[in-house]
Amino acid sequence: MKTDTMAVFGKATESFSAGAKTLPQRYFVAREIFAKEQEAIFSEQWVCVGHQSQIARAGDYFVREVAGESLIIVRDQKGTIGGFSNVCRHRGTRLCEEASGHAPAIQCPYHAWTYALDGRLIGAPHMESAVGFDKSQYSLGTVRTALWEGFVFVNLADDSAPLHSTFAALAGKFTHWNLPKLRSAQRIEYDVRANWKLIFENYSECYHCPGVHPMLSKVSPYDSAENDLCEGPFLGGFMSISKGASLTMSGNACALPVGEIQGEDHARVFYYSIFPNMLLSMHPDYVMVHQVWPTAPDRTRILCDWFFHPEAFGRADFHPKDAVEFWDVTNKQDWRVCELSQQGIASRAYQPGPYSPRESIPAAWDREYLRHLPHAL
């Protein structure tokens, strides 16, 4: 055996310093840490579940699972967006089976109990003869909802800070991107066999781009990143487009500009991670948004939407696939290396490894993450 190699299967005694090295193994594989994350992060923080344009009319709804809880996100008759647990108050039946839809009211498929779009029980056959039954006590369970730049967020905790205070640091920062008015042209869902934190760490650096993303690296130099948010729940900055007008298969813009893009920003893509589950990638002509949903320590469901200016739709110069395909290829390259990392990290041989200077944002993301799990180390 060589003297300059370590013994892999002996005991690791290195001390851990958050952000200097990658996280210890248990953060990627342990059921207990996964459960703690679901409780302390996904049940306590504001998480992105979609965009207001996806439920434009009264009665439009979609269903999203947050920390294991199926929620109905629905627009009511007054235009208000509400969040309700997808569980009948009678015998616990799942109310909405479809991922999205439109309905005048929410009716249980079992015994036809019926709820208004604001959650009130308005019909319960035969319950009038049940002694002491009071309809007003059987509204649907509610969850808090709030909007940020047109995106719908929910928070399972009743006592956490309001969204506008949590997001205060971003107030006005993205106004000229016109986010509230955009509309999604396509969604792709990915099922990735890797821990959700690997997805964020991967998104947060381009050190891997030369080897992993040959197509992207040709048009956006991996060392062109300039970050303006370097610590905390919101992290990122821009990278340059050195060739072509946007990140598309053709290299051309594929739609009207999304907003009031000024000067050099026409040749930049802005990449921000919004803790804990949103990735916001703003191009001159489209905005890509990833929702990152952990489903197991080694598994993550990702919803990826491509948003465009509402007036871009239907025009002759509207080619959304040009952008979608570019990133679908690139996304899959990322998921592959995340999956390989998951495999290696699950090994007894894994030890936290050193972050390079090119990985300052993943390191910052780890620090933010650890602030939410102070007792897990």
Site for a second copy in 148-207 (CB under 8 A): 156-158, 201, 207
Q: Which stretch binds a second copy (CB under 8 A): 113-121, 174-182, 240-248, 253-261?
A: 113-121
Q: Report which of 305, 324, 257, 322 is spatially closest to residue 52, judged by C-alpha positions.
A: 305
144 interacts with a second copy by CB under 8 A: yes
105 interacts with a second copy by CB under 8 A: no
CB of 28 to a second copy, least distance (A): 8
How far separated are the first and last CA of the chain, in Å rounded?
A: 33
Q: What is the crossing angle of helices 360-372 and 196-203, to 10°?
A: 140
187 touches 284 (CB < 8 A): no
Sheet containing 114-115, strands listed edge to edge, beginning at the edge strand earlier in sequence: 106-107, 114-115, 121-123
* C-beta closer to a second copy: residue 1 or 168: 1
Which H or E run includes 37? helix 31-37
Q: Report which of 265, 262, 261 is spatially closest to residue 241, judged by C-alpha positions.
A: 265
74 touches 86 (CB < 8 A): no
205-244 mask for a second copy (x: CB under 8 A)? --xx-xxx--------------------------------
| Tally of CA atoms within 13 A in the half-sphere of 52 that contains its CB | 17
30-69 mask for a second copy (x: CB under 8 A)? -------------x------------------------xx
Among positions 26, 53, 58, 93, the unique one binding a second copy when judged by CB under 8 A: 93
Among positions 120, 187, 193, 299, the unique one binding a second copy when judged by CB under 8 A: 120
Q: Taking every pair of C-alpha atoms in the chain, what is the biggest distance, in angstroms?
A: 83
Within positions 297 to 356, which residues make up the interface with a second copy, using CB under 8 A? 336-337, 340-341, 343-345, 347-351, 353-356
Among positions 78, 79, 125, 375, the unique one binding a second copy when judged by CB under 8 A: 125
CB of 20 to a second copy, least distance (A): 10
